[in-house]
Amino acid sequence: MYGIFMECWVTFKLYGGNGFLLALFVASLIYLLIMEKELYKKLVIAIAPFIILIGFFIPVTKIVFVAVFEDGADTYYRILWMIQMGVIIAYAACKLIERHKRIGLVITAIVVMLSGSLVYNNQYVSKAENLYHIPQSVIDVVDAIAPLEGESRVRAVFPSEMVHFVRQYNTNILMPYGRDMISSQWSYYNAVHEEMEREGSVDAEALVTATREAKCRYIILSEDRVVDGNLIEEGLVLVDTIDGYLIYEDPEVE
Amino acid sequence: MVILWLLIIPLCVGMLVNSILPQSKKTLGITFLGGYLLLFSVFELIAIPCMIKIQYSAFKYCVRYYIIACVILTIAGIAVAVKRAIVAFKSDTNTKGFNMLKSICKALFPGDSNSSAEDLLNPRVKTSDIKMQYSVEGIIYWAIFALIVLFQLYMAFTRAFFDGDDAYYVVESLLAQQADVMNTIEPYTGISTSLDIRHAFAVITMWIAFIAKVSGIHATIVSHTVIPLLFIPMIYLVYIEIAHILFRKKQDMIPVFMIIISLIVMFGNTSIYTSETFMMMRTWQGKAMVANFVLPMIIWLYLWLFECKARDNVVWAFLFMLNMFAGMCSSLGIFFGDGLMALLTLILLIYTRKFKVVPLAIISIIPSVIYLAVYLIVKMS
């Protein structure tokens, strides 16, 4: 039981990241539990979240959650969503600064900014290149190989950095594998993926054998990717080079 | 078209909900939220049967039936609004032009009007119904809050937020738009597959596809660019309603509260797990909507119930629709939503000592029970 409690504690710490906003939340909750005079507000904004927080740390809750949900161990942190931490912090802050609104708001804003982490500085946030919010190179490459109206769909294999986005742009492009192959949380096997992502360099013969087996008409490779052998000698045709990506077509695959 | 489907129709449909609200809650914001909840509930009722029962081009039928439902609800909503406007017009035939428009707005959304001097002196008017004019300082705070939200919307429009799950959810929407299927093509690779029950019941992806279809905009653009522009303000509308109850007698604190909330949202990216991270980086995904729209809305509705001592039964109707929306977002949504409701109902029961809250709470979770039953039946078959 102690081990499970510690797991919950680790989940709680991971949820909070640097921990400052989490500390602010705990302090706000304690403040409201003691200082809130209106009972109904105290019940909803302080006591109910406090009960949920206690419940979160009780090992039985985690045991039940993991038993009920398929991916319960990975999603246990979502119980904390039931506690509206932002509302609790903001309400406690407002109660504190009520009589000195101007300076109080400035101080609160500074504390929140210093304790938190600006979402726009996240490593996964970038300037959008188009309205789709996917890399323009994906759009350009997909436009080059996409079937015309009335033509049948084509299967193509892409480098891992493009895999997430291809079918978000055009579902007429089929792929031999998708995001599930390149994400570390799953460890499935796919022959084309093995050859495409082979460490060091791509073995041209092995790759073409695998893509023909999977009926891939197009192979897209980054210009920087080292290839052992020659894809053209294996029967492929280099149809275009777009945004640093080589587009090969396999005439043997219809 | 997108403005018609995302703003005008929900507002018209919201007039139906508006008509059952108590006078002080008949505001533009609550009407809009109510309209959306009703539209989402109807969408779930149409989408899930279409998905389960229709084998080919299921989405085409779903779109067709939902458009019919929307037209009926919109006409009914407009009829309610027109009827109310005519009554207002007849009762005050002397006013003209802008003043006429103002009195019609007042008739449609009386909750948005400030209380008159008579209201303040009238002992029968509840404190919860009193609404004062904001001070200049309060208006400045509102302006600061509005600027922060506008900045967030600008960033949502101009920044791309990468999330691996989009390869599943966004593609599901696009497949519905481009291939008329409802969760029967494997999003990652494009091969045909059986219905993926685990994700299929969360038909929010199909609602996004519906908006894409009727507006003629690519589903990925709707997900990544349009939905944040709609949902971020809608989430703040819920927080404003929470603030209205928390600061009933100190109205000028509401914008201060909202400024702090908006900063916490923007600086809440302390880990990949926080609800704030989900709100800003994955707004279009069902779980983000559960964390940032459904759960705060439950808090607001229970604050309302606690404040009125469980007298306003209309709140249970809101909770009923919200439960339907929770299931539409994620199967997790119904567990978390119902869990939170169960806890708050228990506390409400102790607080009010009114046993009627228990059966009313049970009625409001009926959608979740049906959802689970259908889910299990389909899974087992």
pLDDT tens readout for residues B207-232:
999 999 999 999 999 999 999 999 99
Cα separation, B321 vs A161, in Å, equals 41
Calculate the dihedral angle through the C-alpha atoms of B345, B350, B351, B357, rounding to the nearest 10 degrees.
40
Question: Nearest 5°: phi and psi at A237?
Answer: -120, 130
The alpha-carbon gap from A163 to the nearest alpha carbon of chain B, in Å, equals 8
- For A153, the closest chain B residue by CA position comes to B190
Would you state the pLDDT for residue B112?
74
Residue B155: C-alpha distances to residues A168, B161, B228, B235, B276 (Å): 21, 10, 10, 16, 15
- pLDDT of B201 higher than 90: no
Enumerate residues 5 to 64 of chain A having a beta carbon within 8 A of any beta carbon in chain B.
Answer: 14-22, 39-41, 43-45, 47-48, 51-52
pLDDT tens string B82-115 = 998 888 777 776 777 777 777 788 888 888 776 6
Query: Band of the pLDDT at B121, cuts 50, 70, 90?
Result: low
| Substitution target from A21, A35, A44, A117 for chain B, most B beta carbons within 10 A | A44
Q: What is the mean pLDDT of residues B296-322?
A: 95
- Chain A residues lying within 8 Å of B140, measured CB to CB: none
One-letter amino acid for residue A166 of the chain: V
Cα separation, A77 vs A22, in Å, equals 13
The alpha-carbon gap from A128 to the nearest alpha carbon of chain B, in Å, equals 5
Residues 6+ apart with CB under 8 A from A111: A24
Would you state the pLDDT for residue B243?
96
Would you state the pLDDT for residue B135?
87
Would you state the pLDDT for residue B129?
64
- For B299, the closest chain A residue by CA position comes to A44
- Chain A residues lying within 8 Å of B296, measured CB to CB: 84, 87
Tell me, yes or no, if A176 comes closer than 8 A to chain B by beta carbon.
yes
Nearest CB to B275; choose among A41, A81, A155: A81
Tell me, yes or no, if A79 comes closer than 8 A to chain B by beta carbon.
yes
Partner-chain contact B302 A118, CB within 8 Å: no
Nearest CB to B270; choose among A87, A102, A116: A116
The alpha-carbon gap from A179 to the nearest alpha carbon of chain B, in Å, equals 6
| Substitution target from A94, A98, A126 for chain B, most B beta carbons within 10 A | A94
Residues 6+ apart with CB under 8 A from A69: A75, B332
Query: Band of the pLDDT at B116, cuts 50, 70, 90?
Result: low
The long-range contacts involving B82-86, CB below 8 angstroms and separated by at least 24 positions, are: B84/B108
ipTM of the prediction: 0.92
Residue B159 pairs in a beta bridge with: A127
pLDDT tens string B135-152 = 899 999 999 999 999 999
- Chain B residues lying within 8 Å of A115, measured CB to CB: 267
| Tokens found for residue B84 | 């109310």
Residues 6+ apart with CB under 8 A from A131: B218, B221, B224, B225
Tokens 């819920």 -> residue: B238
- Chain B residues lying within 8 Å of A179, measured CB to CB: 164, 167-168, 188
Tokens 């797990």 -> residue: B273
- Nearest 5°: CA angle at A30, between A26 and A32? 115
Where do the domains of chain A lie? 2-116, 136-249
Partner-chain contact A133 B220, CB within 8 Å: yes
Q: At B229, which helix (H) or strand (E)? A: helix B227-246
- For B294, the closest chain A residue by CA position comes to A82
Which range, of A172-186, B9-23, B238-252, averages the lowest pLDDT? A172-186
Residue A121: C-alpha distances to residues A125, A126, B270 (Å): 7, 9, 11
Tens place of pLDDT per residue across chain A (254 aa): 888 999 999 999 999 998 899 999 999 999 999 999 999 999 999 999 999 999 999 999 999 999 988 788 889 999 999 999 999 999 999 999 999 999 999 999 999 999 999 999 999 999 999 999 999 999 999 999 999 888 889 999 999 999 999 999 999 999 999 888 877 666 678 888 988 888 888 889 999 999 999 999 999 999 998 988 888 998 899 999 999 999 999 998 87
Would you state the pLDDT for residue B128?
61
- pLDDT of B62 higher than 90: yes
Would you state the pLDDT for residue B126?
66
Enumerate residues 88 to 117 of chain A having a beta carbon within 8 A of any beta carbon in chain B.
Answer: 89-91, 93-94, 97-98, 101-102, 105, 108-109, 112-113, 115-117
| Tokens found for residue A37 | 């005079």
| Substitution target from B140, B270, B285, B302 for chain A, most A beta carbons within 10 A | B270
